[in-house]
Amino acid sequence: MATLELHCDGPVLGLAYAPEANVLLSCTSRQLAAWECSTGQCLRGMQSRSVLQALTYASHLQCAIVGGRDGSILVWDINTGAARREMSCGSAVSCLDYALSLKAVVSGEENGTVVLWDLTRGVQLAVIWCHAMVHCLSYWFIPPYIRDIPHLDNGEILQKLIPATENGTMGRAIVTGDSAFKVTVWDMETCKAKKVLHCQSHVLALATSPFLGLVAAGEANGHVTIWDVEIEQVLHRLEGGGLRGLTFVSLEEVQTLMAAESMRLVSWDIDTGQFRSRRLPRGIHCATCLCEIKAEEGCRLALGDSAGLVTLLPHQEATRGFDAKRAGDGVRLRSCLRT
């Protein structure tokens, strides 16, 4: 797979992948665009009246959802380029995520409000008050699972449904990272906090892996912490710098944590905490966001930068070791601490 470059009209603030159409969505402060992933061609775009700040993709509608500084949330059809619905929040929208099992969208605002939206009717389904500016959020869903319990002498097995517990992480939840140095898991039924995980700085990026029960939080000081949320235990605390984005990537049944820094792409091994890093191509100025693309031709990573360039990189193994000379801040060695 060749590396593709897509040129936007300003710093890239958000990226999202639409697998049904094999389209990559990009968001700048004034423009939303849809790109063909195989050719890099811009299919259609939209100029916004307000300043855009957040982007996600709703697969059941095949629509891009964008949030603005004026508190507006716009539902944009990626096939026709038409705006289908507009909703209004109480303050600037800082982050968005799609709740697949509910076919709804979760928005986080700068005043600390988190809202679950029904996109079909344009109404609020739930409201959560975080009491701090919400920088990032993620929808979390673990269905109550079936456990096979042998009950009879003839070898027959009775399937038993294990329900979600009051403080457990099974069920529907929202994970938020805020300016109060904490990651919170919220129960969507009661709108109350189920678990609070404390950090050392503002939480700027989140990545969740519900079926592994893991949450990764990237902080303003460059640290990345990986929690086992069910037992509230820190698995790894990783030291980095210039963190821009986090995402869990699955390749051949092996899941790793990808971190986009200002000039490097780092792959963390969840089991050992070891990392593989690779320098970003010379054309990238400063990475701003990261997105995984799973297509028929293979897995790629889309990386947006501060100069309006979106680069589609083939996902490949990088060199294991310490960071060598870093752009802009000299030499720094990366360490990994197990707790």
Convert the pLDDT of each residue in 170-185 to its tens digit: 678 999 999 999 999 9
Q: Which CB contacts under 8 angstroms, 24+ apart, belong to 317-324?
A: 317/276, 318/265, 318/267, 318/276, 318/277, 318/278, 319/276, 319/277, 319/278, 320/274, 320/275, 320/276, 321/277, 323/264, 323/277
* Level-2 CATH architecture, domain 4-152+168-337: 7 Propeller (2.130)
Distance CA 123, CA 164 (A): 27
Residue 124's φ and ψ, nearest 5 degrees, are -85, 130
DSSP string of 74-120? EEEETTT--EEEEEE-SS-EEEEEEETTTTEEEEEETTSEEEEEETT
Q: Partners of 277 in the beta sheet?
A: 266, 319
Q: What per-residue confidence (pLDDT) applies to 230?
A: 83
Q: What per-residue confidence (pLDDT) applies to 184?
A: 96
Exposure string of 117-147, with b = 16+ CB inside 10 Å and e = fewer, is bebeeeeeebebebebbbbbbbbbbbeeeee
Q: What per-residue confidence (pLDDT) applies to 180?
A: 95
CA 272 to chain centre: 23
- In the chain, % helix, strand, coil (3-state, to 5) comes to 0, 60, 40
Q: How many CA atoms lie within 13 A of 71 on its CB side?
A: 10
Classify burial at 63, counting beta carbons within 10 Å of its beta carbon; exposed 0-12, middle 13-18, buried 19 or more.
buried
Q: What per-residue confidence (pLDDT) applies to 132?
A: 94
In the chain, which stretches have pLDDT less than 50? 146-152, 158-162, 318-339
Q: Which CB contacts under 8 angstroms, 24+ apart, belong to 191-194?
A: 191/126, 191/127, 191/128, 194/167, 194/168, 194/169
Residue 147's φ and ψ, nearest 5 degrees, are -110, 130
Q: What per-residue confidence (pLDDT) applies to 269?
A: 79
Q: What is the dihedral of CA 221, 177, 269, 283, to 10 degrees?
A: -60
What's the pTM value of the predicted model, to 2 decimals? 0.83
Q: What per-residue confidence (pLDDT) applies to 327?
A: 30
Distance CA 320, CA 189 (A): 44
Per residue in 55-114, pLDDT tens? Answer: 999 999 999 999 999 999 999 999 999 999 999 998 999 999 999 888 999 999 999 999
Q: Which two tokens stand for residue 332?
A: 């720094």
Q: What per-residue confidence (pLDDT) applies to 79?
A: 92
> For the chain, what is the largest distance between any 2 Cα atoms, rounded to a whole number of angstroms?
70
